[in-house]
Each structure stands twice: as structure tokens, then as C-alpha cells.
A and B are shown apart, each in its own frame.
Chain A
């Protein structure tokens, strides 16, 4: 609570007649800013002025929508690179405690975090006095089914479709965010003093034979560690590269999918899915986006028409008063 008394008032002698009649005037500066007269544009939104916007938006959105929709439908033709996904439903990868249960420091190759993971990883932090690498619930519950795709040949022989393991994770994840523990030793040596997550069959440094896809920078692992936003999600599993321009990547025919079932989803009523898709410039097959664009474009166009009518009807009145807030 401030005092009402201001010693300054005493000094100044209050507003009238400053002592000694100083030559300095207290007239406020006549600047545009102080006088609140900054040059300004005062847009007045009336039916007439916003009308073109609606038409323009309508005219832009509808073609975009159609474009997306058409491309999205064309994706059915499996050409170009084909992405192979696995999908899970009713799996809460966005559960708060689950999301937190990781140690980004450890995954980034921090040697101290490797041996002493963050507390966030509890209760998947240590096992039998050894720190778990990678620690945490996310890593522990890593999807470990194996999917293999075979093309059923003419003579019912199975020709394996080559599935590429690399290139399925974000480049920045693979090259920046996830790092193996530093050193030149073999991976097993570098992970010394750690143990595998409880649910895992083999330790992290044995996820893949490829040195460049092993340990923390194993792309399957990285993909899993990038948690999903929703309980029903799909994750990129493999890449089927197009071999030549002449042939479709996955020519029409019968295919055989071999699933090594490791991952239990039954207990929580989960579902597993396998999805094959190509992507275009606007992502994967996504009819919804296209439809949404077309819808909004149409609505915008329609509103434009309504505004046109209103503008026509009330033109006289709308010119006069603009006093609304």
C-alpha cells in the first residue's frame, strides 16, 4: 500500500506554478506516437471487402483438394517406393508415464547415462544390479514381430521381396538424436556393464548385424522410440525400394506374408496390422485431407455467394456506419 503522500508533490509544489517559473514547459510532445496518431490502415471488414477473399480461397482450395484426392486415390497403384507398416491398436504409447520412461541422454550415447540411467526409466532402470540399456518402458515394450514378404511365383514358389531396413527413421533421429556409446571398440564392448531390457530376447547391440544399424541407432528401435500420438497407430517397418522404372515395385500377384509372432497384444485387446503404401508429394494415401480441402473450398465459395447477396442487399446501409467493435 503506497502512501498517498508523495514527497515529490512537495518538491514540485504541485501542478500549478512551478517554483521559479521555469522556462521549460510541460506541454506534451507532439509526436504521432504520443498523440496516438500513428499512420494507420483501418481495415473495415464488411461483406464487400471480405467477399473476394472467400472466392479466392474457394478457388484455391477446391483444386488443391481435388489434386490431393486424386493423387491419394492413385496411390493405390503401387508404384515407386513402397512403405511397409505395422499397425497396433489400443496400444497406449502416449500414456504419460510410458512416454516419460526413457533416457534420451542414454540413447544419445552419453556414457554416464548408459551406466546410470535416468530415474524416469523406473522400474525398467536396473536389472540384477546392471543398468538396462536401453532403459525404460518404451524400449522394454519394443515391437518384435518379424514380418517377411514373399511373392508367390508362378509355380507357387516363394520369392522373398527385399525389405530395406534402413531409411525408415527420421534422418535427424538416426544421425543426431540416437547415438551409440562412443568408442571404437565393438558394440558389445561399448555396452559393457549393461543388461538387456527385461522383455528383450537379445541385447541392444545384437539387434542387427549391420554395424550401422545396430545398437541405439537401429532404425526399428528408433521408430519404436518415436512414440505415437494416438493409441491406434502405425509405424514404418520396412521399405520396398523400386528397382527399375519399368517394373512396378510390387507387381500384381499373390503375396505371402510370414509373421513371426512374438509380440502379445491379446491381453489388451490389441490388433496388429500390416499396411503397404506408397507416398506421394502430399504424404501417403490420405483421402480425408483432399475431401476436407474440397469441402472447405466449397464452403468458402458458398459463403462468398452469401456475402455477395448480402452486400448487394445492404450495400447502402453498410457504407455509412462502421461503428461496431
Chain B
């Protein structure tokens, strides 16, 4: 077993070394202490976690003694109850709190102030109701919305709080409600019940007191790993190895005491200790059942509540929603401020006009002189405020509330869309955020996770090549959903299931080749035999026997648990072809070879790692001969072949063809090892494995020695199946000028492979890897320096793709890591700052290099870069870093595709930040796993793929989709529509506000700047609320410029959004100009006509004038909106009709006698409309105004369009021709066969050690392990890769990241037949381990990631 602890300690220290990366670790899944040390060490290192949280089981008196100071001398109990209130309001607090919330919004507060100002008679220019009525309406609408939301929350709170659970009261467990649970209670949970609070697991009915929980509710986990394990401290498990529940009932209260850290939000971290009978036992996260998990496969378990209610980890984790705001939102706010400022300026100008006029009034106009009792300055001051009130109608108050509803509506459409409904999972799309819709129409960068997002993470055995013969599927598989395929199990009906002869055949495997099957069953070719043996033996898969209820098919009972889906596919393939992997113990593997059971003794496992790129198993066959079975990347295997003959060439050809089909390949080889050779080797191997220094190196060399002169058996090809429609989606998005970057934790080869598979990469692209990037950046750098800091285009006109990995990024992103704020904020860096500095400083990793031949051929001027890496001071360094980042981003943005592999969750977020920072574009991140959460939170839009991996990504996302391909519709249809709608809405709203309200300013010039409102107060009050609202609302909710189908057909349409074409300052200016023009026409046309009008009812009196201008404005605006609406439905007609009806009804109401009689002051326009509109000549005036407003604009628009279109066409043609000229790029072959080595081996190393060390595990995860320790230590890799593997929690559920500390043994009950050997071995382990000193206990992190197992 050696002494791994020391090494691990060292590693651990390395990890915990406070580096820049640690500083702003995002809580949800930052690398919390992944180390696997005992809690004492944690104690030392966790400075912030003081053990001040004491809980005694079932001792309320004790637990409630802890008080917490709240305010002054007022205290409350420290331990919260388990009641949760997510609702914001209750009956009494609703009104004040809601009003408070609402008046925190600037616009509401502003109007409140205006209304208050209005109550001052001196400056009250508008009737009080004019602003009050709309404000009250808007507040009410908003309050109702909040109320509905809150009622929903109350309901769900109630449901949650009233869930039943069993609490120990007295001597028995009684059914209580969740809300009754207090800290210190003992809770009994049954199968499938949900954990009500954070518990320390005390006992369970399962052997060794395990409890399996499903964390889907918290973050979910992959299918096939439905159970997470909470392992108990072994000692306690022993203590209760009596009967389930017994100890608890025997010792009510039990005397258990838990001392632990204060509640915190670290999901994967917990430190505490349990005191029982005077002994202390360490507790870590593996002993905790978190609230929200579901108990699975465990009949009953008992837990001690330590954190309840809002103290639980999940509740602590749901911090405040990070408010994301859209570009348009920002613009809107700036616009409102702009309007406000210009309003103040205009008011001042008008007040200045009044200054002059008031002198005249006071001196000469005797009929009003008495109205100006104050001095001129005071009067002007008053009038300034008066104008501020009067012109406040220009500030579009209703816009915000309406925009909110439009956002809401457009989000609901997303939820309603049938095309984004995923039937197999019964999962419609969901917009969790209702304020980002327009941003969906402006996305320029998509950062996509690979596994589970682009790919299904389902590996299918596609082809194989044995002895140079390629076997593909002999009958075509129906395309379509693989899950459905899985469901219907067997191959297509016309053919009988070819695996019927094999009772262990797994129906899920769809690969079948009759020819191959015959060959296998004939059992004549030794190569065929060995081929399948390699697959069946050389792996780290665990097997589990399920208690299936269908005896006729015992084969179904075998469930393989693999760290990587590739291995699972391979082993399953072998199983179907008659080489069934039945069981494994520490030192043996049991196979069923064509119906015959054989036990292979495992002599050595040479584990996979990313440098070796291969894995070997040394076994002694039943007949006694020793064989080495190897599988690995083709390049690696080919180097080690004994001979290269025809078969090898044929296989190589097959490999090439597999690669072009973007299949993941793996070469299989074997060799027979002589007994004496082995003995000699084993001797050295044992020596090497106890080396204290350079052990890894020594082992590596030994492995290398053994894995020589192999005999090639064949190759396998596995398809990493893309999700449905990924190809089309990516193609479509690319047409829409959206750049898709793949950020994956996967290895470079697999990532590139997927890149090819989804056509992000193509053969005619230059794929730039680290070295090339460095070179290009150097050239870029020099050019920049020589040109005095001027920005120069990167010399790239070719189709290029970037493939970079995490380490490289690590160096690149240094400066970002230093400013954690950049993560959250979209910092606009001053371009000057970063370019001024002559970049003389080189950064270490950018070694001075000459350009390669490749770049010479591309005609890049070479300049020797004799610059020596040097650090000056931190500032220049930082600038250099920034410059480098900028250069990198610029380079990357010019590439057709960017693939980042081996990136950590944090790096994913950093990349997003980087792009946001330097490109100032809208970014979208899509992912499905917990490792995508950072990225999803950082990007402007986060999309969670609700797939197999559960909820973590989804709960942090803004939009939830079931499939990647729905992204296309989400962006191109919903996004584009939303953006277009919001833009059009804003434009219309601005226009209508200005067009109707600007007349106030013009009127001022005719009323002596006395701030007399032109419109009737009620018209002002209702105009924005009723008369003109429905139409703009219609535009915001229903407008479609082109149909959904056309949007998808023409992704180019999407570009308008990226360029902010529909709403920018220019558009605002247009709307402003248009509005001004309309108001001018309405006012002055009416004015000129009125001067000559005659008759008792003429235009010349104030009320008639007001009515005519008001109606002209309203109709002009209505006609304008009608004309720009492109989607006329019945609703549109209804909206027009209702708007006009509202005008008619409300006008006749406010001008009615009844209201006049009662409130003569508030309703002075008695019958004004009636009188005015009964005059035909006045109708003619209105008609004139409306047509003058409409016709020229309409004509201009049509002419402009007609003239613009041909131009656009030319542009398009130009672009196309350009592209063609660019196309024939010298295709530079990469020297290595990089593509081919996309070997199907995606899991991390360390797995084999877990097997050989016997630290694994329990039966239920399918691990029948526990074997003799042959060699224990994983190769000590260079620190980088070690770090990487630790940082590399691909696809893991958060509970999956829990440390499962095993004290080196698993109880014998865990073991299932058929491993008689194992049980004795475990017994042995049991006997040894508890007594062995801690340093000898092997502690393992066991991270089930679906693909990756991490070992430390």
C-alpha cells in the first residue's frame, strides 16, 4: 500500500496554496477542498470555519440555549426552524413593502415627486389627476403581478412546510410536518422520501449503514448513476450493525453530539465531528444528507438534524438572483435620463422666455398683472418647476411597465412553443428569466459545453476492425432518437434478435454484424477471441447485479458502471458477442466466454493516463499462461507493435476511415508474456511501487517496458453521438453570424473530434494550436509595437480554427484572474490604456521565436523578435497581459471555430468574461452540467440543457431547453422576434410620446410661456394608459416581420440584432425627429387654420383647439402604428377598435354633464368634442393633419426601401464572391495524425488504483472490488496534469463531488456472489484497516462523473 498519505498531503498543499484562482472562487462549484484528509487537517486549514455549531441529539433544552444577537439586547434562538418562507409578503406587509419596492424604482419615485410638486398651487400646471391616475394604475398593475407571484410562493412554501416526516418524540417516531423539525431532532426517512433538512446520517438499514440518495432535485445526476452514496463513518456503522433503528430507540437522544462549522453555502464541504460515548468521529460532507435529496434504495435511515430551514446548504446556496440586464435596458435607461435632462433644459429655456414675458404681463397686461404678485425672478423660478411638471408627460413612464409585460409575454411564448417541446422527456422549453428576451436576438457568441449539450454522452459501438477486416453494422439502424431506440430495445423487427443465443446480451446494444457474429461463434480465429477478451478484461468497469424480476433473462441483471461511457460501450459490446464480464475482485476478473465461465487472475493493472494514452492489464489465463492486454490510442499502440504487416496497414486504413467519420477509435493489442519475464518484472514492479521518490516515473518506465512488441488485434470505433439536429443548428447559427465556441473539460482529441463531427471544424481549415497561436500573437504584437501602438488587423483571411487547452488559457487569463470584478461586470477597458505602452516586455511563456515556415508562406513579414522575457513592474506587466488577452480575443474572434478543451468551470467563466470584456458583445452560454454553472452565470444569457445531468445548470440558467437544437429556434425565432418587438415597441412608444406631447412646447410660444397645458387633463391622463397603449402593446407582443419558418430559412436576418440595427441612437434620433415633425404639423396646421375660422363653433377657442390637436395627434399616431405593423391579425383590429372606443367612451364620459355638475373644476371640457366634431370643416382639418403626417413619411419609407434593396443585393453578392476567392487556401496538414488519435478513452486515470487498492466501494454502485494490492500508486504526474485532473470535474453532480472517505475496506455484506474470493479478501481488509494507523488508511476521493474519476 505504500505510504500515499505523504504524497497526497503534498499534493493537497499544492492545491490549497492560495493562488490567484482561489480568491474569487465561485461558491457553487469551485474547487472546494477536494483533498481527502481527515477533518483535523481541514480544521487547521479552514480558518473561517470555527466549530461553534453544537447540536445535541434530541435535546431541545440544550440546543435552544444558543442565542444569537440580533439587535442590541434582543436575542433570538440561534438555530432556525425548518420552516421556510420564500414568499416576500404577508397580508399586512404587502402594501407597505410592495409600495416601498416599487418606489425604489427611479421612474416611479420621479413621478411621485412630480405629483408632490404638483400639489403646490404656485407651480401646479397640470390637474392633479393627470399624473396620479396613470401612476396609480401602473402601481396597481405591478402590485397585482407581484401579488400573484407571491401567492404562488406562499402555496409552494405551504406544501413544502407541510410535508410529512417522522420525528423521534419520546420513544417512537411520530409523523410530523417538516416545519416542526428542529435542530437536534432525530428524523427517520424511508425509501423515496425527501430529506427535509441537512442531516448527519446516523444509521440505515443498509449494510454498513450506507444511504443512497438521489440528488436530482438539487442538481441531478446522470442516468445510470441514480444513487449517490452517503457513507457513514465506519465505526458508527459498526456500532449499529445491530438492527436498523434499534440503537436510536435504545438511546433516545442517543447522547450524540455534533460539533461543526456554522451553516455555509459550500455544497461540497462540511467539517464537523460527532461525539458519541465519549469518542469523537470526524464528519465530512459524505456523512451529510442534504435537504432536497431523495432517499433511494434504502429502506430506512436515521439522521440527526444539524441545519434546518434557511441554514441548510441548499437554502444558503440560493443567493440573490444576479440581475442581468439587457443592452436595450441600458439604452432605455440612458434614454430616459437623456429625455429628463433635455426636459430640464427645455424647461429652463421656457422659463427664461417667461422671465421676459412676465415683465410685460406685470407692467402692461392689466388683466393678468394681479396674477403675478411675486418678483420676476420668483415667478420665473416657479414657472421652471411648472414646466418641469408639464413636460413630465414627455418622460415615458408607462414604457417600463409595459416593457415588463412585453418581456413577460415573449417569455411565455417560449414556454408555449411546441417546437421546443421535447417529447421523450416531456419537457417544454422554459424561460426562467423574463427580462432577457431581446438579448436573445443579439447573441454573437455561443459558448457551448460539449458533453450532454452537443453530444448525447451516449457512446455507441459503431464499428470494429479485427485482423484488418472492418465490421460495420450489417443492417441499418433507424435514425431517430436514441432513447427511443433504447426503449424499444432490440434491433429492428424484420430481423430476429441475433443475440438470442447469448443470455447475457444487452438489448441496448444496437451494433450487430452477422458476419462478425458468425466469426465469433465459430470461435476459430484466435485474434477474434483475443479481440473480445481485451475488451472484456482490459477496463475499469464495475459490475452490479440487479435484482431483476424477470428471471428468464438473467443477462439483464448485469449492470455495468463505468467511469467513462466509452468503456461501458466496449464492455457491453464484448458482452453481446459472448464475452461477458461477470465480476471482478481485487485480483481477478470473471468472464463468461461463449457460455463458459473463466476466471482470469489479474497480475497488474497499468492504468490509463493522458500521457500514456493506453491501458494494459496483465492477466494469468485460466490455463496458466500470462497475457498482456492493451488498448490505447493508435499512435501509441503502433509505436509498440512487434511487426507491421498487412494486417497493420489494413487496420491503419480502417482507422483513417473511422477518423473521417469522426468516430472515436481505440487500438487493441495483446502479447503473451513468458513466466520468467513476468517474475523478473514483478520483482522490479514491487520494488518500484514502494519507492518513496520518483515512484511514478519508475512505474511508468516499468509499464513501458512491459508494453512492448505487442500484437495488434484490431481497432474499435465508437460514436460519440451528437444530439439530434446539432449539425443543422450549428450551421444555421453560423449563417446567422453567431460564433460557436466549444468549451469542454474533455481532452483535446475528443474535443477536436466532436468539432469535426458537428462541422465546426472542417478539413480545409487551418487549425491553430498553442504554438501557432503564440506565434501569431507575437507577430501581432510586433506589428503593433512598430506602428506606434496602432491597432492592426490580424493578418488572417483564412478559414481558421483555434484549439486551445486549459493550461494555455491559464497563462493567458492571468490578468482576468486578478480582477475578480471582471467576472461580474462587463468592464469596458479603455483601449488607449492598453495600447499606449510599448510592449517591450515579453511574457515568459511567449518565448521569442521566429515565425515558422507556414507563416512565411502566408506572406507575413517576419521580424526577429529579440525581446527577452523580463518583468518590469506589475503595472507594465498587467498592461502586457491585457494586451495579450486582447490580441488573443481578437485572434479568436476571427476564427471560424474555437474549441477550448480541458478547461475548468472557472476557466469557462473566464473565457466568457474575456470575450465580454474585449468584444463587448452579447454572449450566450449553454451547458447542462454543474461544471457549466459558472459559465452560465457569467454569460449574458445562460441556457441550461435539462437533460440527464439534472438541475444545477438549469437552476442557474435563464432559459431551459431540452435539446441543443432548440437553441436555433430560441435565437432565430424567439430571440429575433423579441428583439424586433421590443425595438419596435420602444420606437413606437418614443414616437408616440413625442408626437403627442411636444405640442406643449410649441404652445408655450403662444401663451406667453405660462406653462398652460394644451390638452385636456383627462386626455393627458388616459392617452398613455388607454388610447395609444393597446397598439404598441400589440406590436410588442404579436408583431412578426417574417414568419418563424422564414426566420429559420434565412439566418442572415439575425445579423440585424447583433448590430443593434433596430434600436440605437440613430433610431432614437429618427423617432425623435419624426415625433417632432408630427407634433409640429398637428400644432401649426391647426393654428393657421384656426386663425381664419368663424362661426359659433370654431377652432379659435382654447377647448376646440385642444380637442382638434389632441385628436389629430391620436389619429396620426394610430395610423403610423398601423402602417408599421406588419402582422395584422384579428387582435390587431380589435386593438385599433378598442383604442378608438376607449377614446370615444372616455371622452364622452369626462365631458359628460353629470361629472361636470359634480366636479366642475376637474371636468371643464363639457361637450367640447361633441360640438367640435359635429362641424364638418373641423373634421376636414383633422383629416388634413393626419394625411400630412402620414403620406410623406409613407412615401419616403417606400422609396427608401426600394432604393436600398438593390444595394443590399449587390452587397450580398460581393460578400459571396469574396468568400469564393478566399476559399482555396493551402491546406496545411498537421504533422501528427491528430485526428486519428481521438481515441475512445475519455476517463481520467486513477481508476485502476481504486480497484487495485480495494478502496472501492460498495456493491450498489456496481463495484465489486477489493483486491490485493499489487501496485498502488498512480504515476506521479507533472503537477500540471495532476492539477488538471483534480480540477476537472466534468459532468459531475455536486454530491458526486463529495469526498467519500473509505477507510480501506468494505464490509463483507456488500459483496455479492460470484466472488467468493472477494469476500475472504474483504474480511481480511476489515480485519486490518480499523486497527491500522491513519497514515495507512487509504483515503480516496471518488468522484463519479460519468466520464471522469478523479483520484488524489
The reply on B1100 being an interface residue by CB < 8 A is yes
Number of A-B contacts (CB under 8 A): 372
Q: Which listed residue (A15, A169, A177, A267) contacts B364, Cβ 8 A?
A: A267
Taking the complex as formed, is B500 at the interface, i.e. its CB lies under 8 A from any CB of chain A? Answer: no
Docked-complex contact B1177 and A7, CB < 8 angstroms:
no
- Encode B186-197 as 1/0 by CB contact (under 8 A) with A: 000000001000
Q: Which of B829-837, B841-849, B1158-1166 makes up part of the contact surface?
A: B1158-1166
Judging by beta carbons under 8 Å apart, are B367 and A11 in contact?
no
Task: Assess whether B1090 is in contact with A229, with CB atoms less than 8 Å apart.
Answer: yes
Residues A225-240 near B (CB distance < 8 A):
226-236
**Are A30 and B418 touching (Cβ within 8 A)?**
yes
CA distance A234 to B416 in the complex (A): 62
Bound together, the chains give a CA A228 to CA B1164 distance in angstroms of 15
Answer yes or no: B159 CB below 8 A from chain A CBs. yes
Asked whether, in the complex, the Cβ of A45 is within 8 Å of the Cβ of B1198, the reply is: yes
What are the residues of chain A within 8 A of B381 when measuring CB–CB? none
Contact across chains for B430 and A95 when beta carbons are under 8 A apart: no
Of A11, A232, A292, the residue contacting B160 (CB under 8 A) is: A11
The answer, yes or no, to whether A201 is at the interface (CB within 8 Å) is no
* CB atoms of B321 and A2 under 8 A apart: yes
CB-based nearest B residue for A44: B1126
Q: Mark A43-78, 1 if CB is under 8 A from B, else 0.
A: 111110010011001000100100010000000000
- Rounded to whole Å, the gap between the CB of A249 and the closest CB of chain B is 15
Are the CB atoms of B292 and A311 closer together than 8 Å? Answer: no
Q: Which residue of A lies closest to B977 (CB)?
A: A36
- Say yes or no: is A196 at the interface (Cβ < 8 Å to chain B): no
B1320 CB-CB contact with A under 8 Å: no
Contact A299 B1180 (CB under 8 A): no
Q: Is the CB of A137 within 8 A of B371?
A: yes
Name which of B128-136, B324-332, B948-956, B1334-1342 contacts chain A: B948-956
In the complex, are the beta carbons of A289 and B1181 less than 8 A apart? yes
Verify A307–B1198 contact, CB threshold 8 A. Answer: yes
Contact A92 B1096 (CB under 8 A): no
- Asked whether B86 lies within 8 Å of A3 as measured between CB atoms, the reply is yes
Report the bound CA distance from A228 to B1102 in whole Å.
5
Q: Is the CB of B361 within 8 A of A95?
A: yes
Q: Is the CB of A92 within 8 A of B1010?
A: yes
Q: Is B1202 engaged at the interface, CB distance under 8 Å to the other chain?
A: yes
Given contacts A284-B1095, A289-B1177, contact A229 B1195 (CB under 8 A): no
B1098-A7 in contact (CB<8A): no
Q: Which residues 1060-1099 of B have a CB within 8 angstroms of A?
A: 1062, 1085, 1087-1099
How many angstroms from the CA of A108 to the CA of B69 in the assembled complex? 68
CB of B503 closer than 8 Å to a CB of A:
no
Whether A137 contacts B1195 by the Cβ 8 Å rule is no
- Sorted from nearest, which 3 A-B pairs have the closest CB atoms? A284-B1094, A5-B318, A229-B1105
Additional 7 contacts, C-beta under 8 A, given A10-B217, A28-B416, A36-B1040: A5-B314, A45-B1201, A233-B1100, A235-B1100, A283-B1175, A307-B1199, A318-B1205
Q: Is the CB of A14 within 8 A of B1010?
A: no
Q: Which of B367, B1042, B1102 meets A94, CB within 8 Å? A: B1102
Q: Which residues of B contact A94 (CB under 8 A)?
A: 1006-1008, 1010, 1012, 1102
- How distant is the Cα of A293 from the Cα of B1181 in the complex, in angstroms? 9
Cβ B1088 vs Cβ A6 within 8 A: no
CB distance from A186 to the nearest CB of B (A): 25
Q: Is B26 an interface residue (CB 8 A)?
A: no
How many angstroms between the C-alpha atoms of A282 and B1097 in the bound complex?
A: 11
Contact B365 A92 (CB under 8 A): yes
- B1233 an interface residue at 8 Å Cβ cutoff? no
Q: Is A128 interfacial (CB 8 A cutoff)?
A: no
CB-based nearest B residue for A25: B426
Give the CA-CA distance A307 to B1203 in the complex, in Å: 11
A104-129 to B contact mask, C-beta < 8 Å, 1/0: 11011010010000101001100000
Contact between chains at A11 and B1131 (CB < 8 Å): no
Return chain A residues, CB-CB under 8 Å to B1105: 229-230
Measured CA separation A108–B1040 after assembly (Å): 53
Provide the bound-state CA to CA distance between A58 and B1156, in Å.
43
Tell me, in angstroms, the Cα distance from A199 to B1076 when the chains sit together: 42
B1176 close to A281 (CB less than 8 A): yes
Instruction: Report A's interface with B, CB cutoff 8 A.
Output: 1-11, 13-18, 25-30, 34-36, 38-47, 50, 53-54, 57, 61, 64, 68, 83, 85, 91-99, 101, 103-105, 107-108, 110, 113, 118, 120, 123-124, 137, 140-141, 167-173, 176-177, 226-236, 264, 267-269, 277, 279, 281-289, 292-293, 296, 299-300, 303, 306-307, 310-311, 314, 317-318, 321-325
In the docked arrangement, what's the CA distance between A102 and B673, Å? 116
Among B320, B1008, B1096, max chain A CB count under 10 A is at B1096
Stretch in contact with the other chain, from B32-40, B533-541, B1186-1194: B1186-1194
Instruction: Known contacts A226-B1103, A292-B1184; decide if A284 and B1093 are in contact (CB<8 Å).
Output: yes
Alpha-carbon gap, A229 to B1109, bound state (A): 12
B1175 to chain A: closest CB distance in Å? 7
Given A5-B315, A10-B160: A45 and B1194 within 8 A (CB)?
yes
Contacts of B1225 in A (CB 8 A): none
Please report the total number of B residues contacting A with Cβ < 8 Å: 139
Contact partners of A99 in chain B: CB under 8 A? 1012, 1102
A131 to B1095, CA, bound (A): 34
Tell whether, in the assembled complex, residue B156 and residue A7 are in contact, meaning their CB atoms are under 8 Å apart.
Answer: yes
Given A35-B417, A92-B361, residue A296 in contact with residue B1007 (CB < 8 A): no
A-contacting residues, B971-990, CB 8 Å: 977, 980, 983-984
**What B residues does A171 contact at CB under 8 A?**
1171
- The answer to whether B1195 touches A279 (Cβ under 8 A) is no
Q: A6-B86, A15-B954, A96-B1011 are in contact. Are A38 and B1038 (CB under 8 A)?
A: yes
Which residues from B are CB-within-8-Å of A43? 1126, 1128
- In the bound complex, residues from chain A placing their C-beta under 8 Å from that of B88 are 2
Q: A57-B1187, A229-B1090, A325-B1062 are in contact. Are A15 and B430 (CB under 8 A)?
A: yes
Q: How far is the CB of A125 from chain B (nearest CB, A)?
A: 11
Inside 8 A of A108's CB, which chain B residues have their CB?
Answer: 1156-1157, 1160
* Chain A residues with CB below 8 A from B773, complex form: none
B1352 within 8 A of A: no
Q: Mark B417-443, 1 if CB is under 8 A from A, else 0.
A: 110010101111010000000000000
Which chain A residue lies CB-closest to B219? A14
Determine which residue in B413, B1171, B1176, B1195 has the highest number of CB atoms from chain A within 10 A of its CB, and name it. B1195
Chain A neighbourhood of B1008, CB < 8 A: 92, 94-95, 231
A105 touches B1161 (CB 8 A): yes
Q: Which of B156, B1095, B1129 contacts A279 (CB 8 A)?
A: B1095
| Shortest CB distance A322–B (Å) | 8
| Residue of chain A at shortest CB distance from B370 | A123
Q: Is the CB of B365 within 8 A of A14?
A: no
Residues of B with C-beta under 8 A to A314: 1202-1203, 1205-1206
Q: Quick one: closest A residue to B160, CB to CB?
A: A7
Q: Cα distance A281–B1094 when bound, in Å?
A: 11
Quick check: A29 and B416 within 8 Å, CB to CB? Answer: yes
- Given A15-B430, A307-B1198, are A234 and B1100 also a contact pair (CB < 8 Å)? yes
In the assembled complex, the Cα of A93 lies from the Cα of B1181 at a distance in Å of: 23
**A9 to B159 alpha-carbon distance, docked (Å):** 12
A78: shortest Cβ distance to chain B, in Å?
A: 13
Chain B contacts for A85, CB-based, 8 A: 1094
The distance from the CB of A103 to the nearest CB of chain B, in whole angstroms, is 8
Contact A303 B1192 (CB under 8 A): yes
Please tell me if B1041 contacts chain A, counting CB pairs below 8 Å: yes
List of A residues within 8 angstroms of B1197 by Cβ: 45
Judged by a CB distance under 8 angstroms, whether B1231 is at the interface is no
**For B1100, what are the chain A residues with a Cβ–Cβ distance below 8 Å?**
228-230, 233-235
- Whose C-beta in chain A lies nearest to the C-beta of B320? A1
Please, which residue of chain A has its CB at the minimum distance from the CB of B1205?
Answer: A317
B157 at the interface (CB under 8 A from A): yes
A282 and B1096 form a contact (CB under 8 A): no
Q: Is the CB of B1127 within 8 A of A40?
A: yes
B1123 close to A (CB within 8 Å): yes
Residue with the greatest number of chain A CB neighbours at <10 A, chosen from B1100, B1153, B1199:
B1100
